[in-house]
């Protein structure tokens, strides 16, 4: 019925995000986040990890199967690609902070694949519900550069009109009132796109080239 609010309209992590907290306190609070239904099926919240004084923050989409099991971002196959590409682009992982736009793993089961959990991308509502966590992380860390890994991270940081194919490898400015607080953003493809590409080598080289744009901004 027109004008009737669906329960999804109420999705937001905002009431779970403590004010004036450090990263450790944010992480603890995020473990109990029920801001959207994704917490019901996921094993745990996968909060960001890395240096609280990081010069660069890398934002992915959502944790995958391995991340959900281990509780850390980018510890699975996409993370291995990312580690190698960061190294090749000259970005020190010890000066980086890794996080995701959405902090819970979303998945489905398909009968022919048995017990395997198959990744599903977050909806726009789940993405915006989780936004307050990303915003709080970026507000505390104040990185010099934010790397958006893929379309979902780009949308979280730059809005729904973001197009990774058009804007990757460029230096963009986040909106002052958005989650990036006016910071510099360099978008690129998601590292898992390298693993899915027909020409993996070309896709990987493209990822490294985009990361070099971020590395140059770091100086």
Q: Find the binder of ligand URA among 76, 122, 131, 178 (CB under 6 A).
A: 76
Question: Which residue is nearest to ligand URA, using beta carbons?
Answer: 60
Question: Shortest gap between Cβ of 42 and ligand URA (angstroms)?
Answer: 12
| Cβ pair 210, 202 in contact under 8 A | no
Selected range binding ligand URA among 1-9, 68-76, 180-188, 201-209, rule: CB under 6 A: 68-76
73 is a site residue for ligand URA (CB under 6 A): yes
| Minimum distance, C-beta of residue 119 to ligand URA, in the bound complex (Å) | 8
What's the min distance (Å) between Cβ of 194 and ligand URA?
12
Q: Which is nearer to ligand URA, 152 or 167 (CB)?
A: 152
CA distances from 26 to 31, 74, 104, 134 (A): 9, 19, 15, 10
Site for ligand URA in 6-65 (CB under 6 A): 60-64
Distance (Å) of CA 114 to CA 107, 109, 119, 142, 196? 13, 7, 14, 43, 21
> Tokens 């990774």 belong to which residue?
164
Q: Give per-residue burial for 84-119: e unless 16+ CB within 10 Å, then b.
A: ebbebbebebebbbbbbbbbbbbbeeeeeeeeebee
Interface contacts to ligand URA, rule CB under 6 A: 60-64, 67, 73-74, 76, 78-79, 100, 192
């Amino acid at each position: 019925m027109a004008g009737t609010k669906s329960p999804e309209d109420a999705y937001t992590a905002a009431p779970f995000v403590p004010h004036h907290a450090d990263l450790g306190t944010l992480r603890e609070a995020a473990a109990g986040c029920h801001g959207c239904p994704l917490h019901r099926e996921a094993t745990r919240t996968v909060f960001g990890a890395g240096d609280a004084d990081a010069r660069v923050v890398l934002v992915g989409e959502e944790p995958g199967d391995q991340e959900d099991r281990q509780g850390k971002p980018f510890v699975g196959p996409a993370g291995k690609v990312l580690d190698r590409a960061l190294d090749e682009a000259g970005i020190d992982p010890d000066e980086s902070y890794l996080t995701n736009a959405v902090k819970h793993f979303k998945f489905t089961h398909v009968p022919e694949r048995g017990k395997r959990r198959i990744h599903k991308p977050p909806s726009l509502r789940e993405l915006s519900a989780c936004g307050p966590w990303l915003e709080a992380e970026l507000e505390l860390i104040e990185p010099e550069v934010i790397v958006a890994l893929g379309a979902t991270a780009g949308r979280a940081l730059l809005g729904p009109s973001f197009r990774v194919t058009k804007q990757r490898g460029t230096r963009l400015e986040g909106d002052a009132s958005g989650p990036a607080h006016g910071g510099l953003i360099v978008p690129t493809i998601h590292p898992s796109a390298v693993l899915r590409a027909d020409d993996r080598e070309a896709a990987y080289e493209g990822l490294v080239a985009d990361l070099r744009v971020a590395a140059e901004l770091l100086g």
